[in-house]
Amino acid sequence: MRQPGDWLEDMAWHRRMYRQSRFRWVPEDPLGIALTWTRGRLEHETVRHLATLDLQITDLRTFATGIDDAMIPLLRQARRHSDDSAWQEGVLLVGLDCPSADALCRRTAKPGGSAHPEVRRVLRGFPLPNPWSKVWELRQVRSLYSAAEAIVEDVFCDLVLELEPSHGWQQLAEATVSHHTVSALQRRVQEQRDARGEPGDPRRVFVQTY
């Protein structure tokens, strides 16, 4: 690894060399990850399917959070070796803002983040790595997993609204592992609809952005 004074220049060079990032994904990739967690099931029709989906979303989010855990020590390392100006420039280069980066630095990372299979895969083998370039590449894979989470969440909320007329909110809330009240489940569905819309809404199509 080069000296901290070279990290920002190397990070800018990294983005230019790879035309933004080495890790690339296309809209089909989040669907593939989502199907991995739903065990390949495409159709969900019953209350039992709803309960299973809720567990699968929880498992997917837990796995994806391991990528965040791997970013935390890297950001802390960058912060230790940066004055305020360099920190702000580096945060901007990796597509964060200072409040978000500071919040990540304050989080408690679970041990073993560097051993996460996606972290190992994404960070393997690019030249002149430093904390900034590693965080940048990890943010790309994290965005892929965030998209996969959202796809499964769409399916969950769509199924809630399909089942509600025949089963009622109370039964559906009791069937999930994340909610024990009707209001919590209704709020979850409303937040999904506000952010992602109905089936067919263009907001449900994910692409990698920088």
Q: What is the pLDDT of residues 82-96, one digit of tens each?
A: 999 999 999 999 999
Q: What is the pLDDT of residues 2-17, one digit of tens each?
A: 899 999 999 999 999 9
Measured between alpha carbons, how far apart are the two ends of the chain, in Å?
Answer: 25
**Does the pLDDT at position 146 exceed 80?**
yes
**Does the pLDDT at position 179 exceed 80?**
no
CA distance 134 to 89: 15
Angle at 77 between CA 20 and CA 74, to 5 degrees: 45
**What average pLDDT does this structure show over 45-57?**
94
Sequence-distant (6+) residues with CB within 8 A of 166 are none
Output the pLDDT for position 143. 97
DSSP per position, 18-43: TTT-S----THHHHHHHHHHTTT---
Q: Is the CA virtual torsion 43, 47, 49, 55 positive or negative?
A: positive
Output the pLDDT for position 163. 97
**Does the pLDDT at position 112 exceed 80?**
no
Distance of CA 56 to the CA centre of its chain: 15
CA distance 49 to 44: 6
What is the number of other CB atoms lying within 10 angstroms of the CB of residue 103? 11
CA distance 137 to 9: 16
CA distance 66 to 154: 22
**Does the pLDDT at position 173 exceed 90?**
yes
Quote the percentage of the chain above a pLDDT of 90.
87
Name the strand (E) or helix (H) holding 48. Answer: helix 47-80
